[in-house]
A and B are shown apart, each in its own frame.
Chain A
Amino acid sequence: MKPAKMPLEELMSSGHLACQGCGATQAMRFALKVLGPKTVLAIPACCWSVIDGSFPNSCIDLPIYHTAFETAAVVASGLKAGLEMRGDTESTVMAWAGDGGTFDIGLQALSGAAERNEDIIYVCYDNEAYMNTGIQRSSSTPVGAWTTTTPVTNFKKRPKKNMVEIMAAHSIPYIATASTAYPEDFMRKMQIAKETRGTKYIQILAPCPTGWKAPPELSVSLARRAVTSKIYPILEITRNGQKLKVWKDFKPTPVRDYLLAQGRFRHLKDAEIKTIEREVEDNWQRLLAKEKMLESIPGFGE
Chain B
Amino acid sequence: MVEKVEFKNYREMPIRAMTISSMLWNLTGSWRNVRPYYDFKTSPCRLGCPTGENIQRYIYLITEKKYDEAWKTIIEDNPMPAITGRVCYHPCMSECTRKDYDEAVNINALERFIGDQGFQNPQWMEKAKRSKKEKIAVIGSGPAGLTCAFYLARRGYPVTIFEKEKALGGVLRWGIPEYRLPNQVLDKAIASILESGPIEVKTSIKLGKGISLSQLEDEFQAIFLGIGLSQSRELGVKNEAGKGVVPGLEFLHRINSGEKVDAGKKVVVIGGGNTAMDVARCALRSGSEVTVVYRRTINEMPAISEEIEEAEKEGVKLHFLASPLEIIRTKNTLSGVVFQQMKLGDPDESGRRRPVPIEGETFTMKVDTLFTAIGETADLEGLEEKLEQKWNLILTFGENGNTSREKVFAGGDVVKGAASVVEAIAAGKKAAAKIDRLLANEPEPEIEDPHTVGIEDMNTDYFTESKRNRVPRIPQAEVTGSFREIKTGFDDVLAHSEADRCFSCGVCNYCDNCWVYCPDVAIKRLRDEYEIDYDYCKGCLVCVHECPRNALSTREEGK
A3 and B24 contacting across the interface, CB-CB below 8 Å: no
A59–B13 Cα distance when bound, in Å, is 19
A59–B520 Cα distance when bound, in Å, is 10
Say which residue of B26, B511, B516, B538 sits within 8 Å of A183 (CB atoms): B516
A216–B545 Cα distance when bound, in Å, is 10
Q: Which chain B residue shows the least CB distance to A26?
A: B519
With a cutoff of 8 Å between Cβ atoms, the chain A residues found around residue B5 in the complex are 56-57
Say which residue of B22, B511, B535, B538 sits within 8 Å of A20 (CB atoms): B538
Say which residue of B4, B28, B545 sits within 8 Å of A57 (CB atoms): B4
Q: How far is the CB of B76 from chain A (nearest CB, A)?
A: 28
**Binding stretch for chain B, among A9-17, A77-85, A123-131, A264-272:** A9-17
> A279 in the interface, Cβ–Cβ < 8 Å?
no
A55–B31 Cα distance when bound, in Å, is 21
With a cutoff of 8 Å between Cβ atoms, the chain B residues found around residue A8 in the complex are 525
With a cutoff of 8 Å between Cβ atoms, the chain B residues found around residue A53 in the complex are 22-23, 26
Q: How far is the CB of B512 from chain A (nearest CB, A)?
A: 6
With a cutoff of 8 Å between Cβ atoms, the chain A residues found around residue B544 in the complex are 217
> A297 in the interface, Cβ–Cβ < 8 Å?
no
> A37 in the interface, Cβ–Cβ < 8 Å?
no
Q: Which chain B residue shows the least CB distance to A18?
A: B519
A13 and B548 contacting across the interface, CB-CB below 8 Å: no
Q: Which chain B residue shows the least CB distance to A64?
A: B19
A58–B21 Cα distance when bound, in Å, is 6
A18–B23 Cα distance when bound, in Å, is 12
> B517 in the interface, Cβ–Cβ < 8 Å?
yes
B26 and A216 contacting across the interface, CB-CB below 8 Å: no
> A29 in the interface, Cβ–Cβ < 8 Å?
yes
Q: How far is the CB of A57 from chain B (nearest CB, A)?
A: 5
A221 and B545 contacting across the interface, CB-CB below 8 Å: yes
> B388 in the interface, Cβ–Cβ < 8 Å?
no
Say which residue of B13, B23, B533, B540 sits within 8 Å of A52 (CB atoms): B23
Q: How far is the CB of A214 from chain B (nearest CB, A)?
A: 11
Say which residue of A29, A66, A209 sits within 8 Å of B521 (CB atoms): A29
B462 and A3 contacting across the interface, CB-CB below 8 Å: yes
Within 8 A of B (CB), among A13-43: 13-18, 20-23, 25-26, 29
B512 and A4 contacting across the interface, CB-CB below 8 Å: yes
Q: How far is the CB of A12 from chain B (nearest CB, A)?
A: 6
> B15 in the interface, Cβ–Cβ < 8 Å?
no
Q: Number of A interface residues, CB 8 Å?
A: 43
Q: How far is the CB of B508 from chain A (nearest CB, A)?
A: 11
With a cutoff of 8 Å between Cβ atoms, the chain A residues found around residue B464 in the complex are 1
Say which residue of B19, B535, B545, B548 sits within 8 Å of A56 (CB atoms): B19
Q: How far is the CB of A179 from chain B (nearest CB, A)?
A: 12
> A218 in the interface, Cβ–Cβ < 8 Å?
yes
With a cutoff of 8 Å between Cβ atoms, the chain A residues found around residue B459 in the complex are 221
> B358 in the interface, Cβ–Cβ < 8 Å?
no
With a cutoff of 8 Å between Cβ atoms, the chain A residues found around residue B525 in the complex are 8
With a cutoff of 8 Å between Cβ atoms, the chain A residues found around residue B257 in the complex are none
> A137 in the interface, Cβ–Cβ < 8 Å?
no
A216 and B542 contacting across the interface, CB-CB below 8 Å: yes
A8–B523 Cα distance when bound, in Å, is 12
With a cutoff of 8 Å between Cβ atoms, the chain B residues found around residue A178 in the complex are none
B22 and A59 contacting across the interface, CB-CB below 8 Å: yes
With a cutoff of 8 Å between Cβ atoms, the chain B residues found around residue A59 in the complex are 22-23
B22 and A56 contacting across the interface, CB-CB below 8 Å: no
With a cutoff of 8 Å between Cβ atoms, the chain B residues found around residue A55 in the complex are 17, 19
A55–B538 Cα distance when bound, in Å, is 22
> A166 in the interface, Cβ–Cβ < 8 Å?
no
Within 8 A of A (CB), among B510-559: 511-513, 516-517, 519-522, 525, 533, 535-536, 538-542, 544-546, 548
Q: How far is the CB of B532 from chain A (nearest CB, A)?
A: 11
With a cutoff of 8 Å between Cβ atoms, the chain A residues found around residue B14 in the complex are 56
With a cutoff of 8 Å between Cβ atoms, the chain B residues found around residue A18 in the complex are 519-520
Given known A1-B461, A12-B521, A20-B540, contact A221–B546 (CB-CB < 8 A)? yes
> B20 in the interface, Cβ–Cβ < 8 Å?
yes
A26–B464 Cα distance when bound, in Å, is 25
> B261 in the interface, Cβ–Cβ < 8 Å?
no
A218–B522 Cα distance when bound, in Å, is 18
- 0/1 interface trace, chain A 201-245, chain B, CB 8 Å (1 if under): 000000001000001111111001000000000000000000000
> B447 in the interface, Cβ–Cβ < 8 Å?
no
Q: Pull 11 A–B residue pairs with CB atoms less than 8 Å apart, ordered by A.
A: A3-B516, A13-B22, A14-B535, A15-B24, A15-B536, A29-B519, A29-B521, A183-B517, A217-B540, A217-B541, A224-B461
Nearest 9 A-B pairs (CB), nearest first?
A: A14-B536, A15-B23, A20-B540, A217-B541, A21-B540, A15-B26, A216-B540, A3-B511, A217-B545
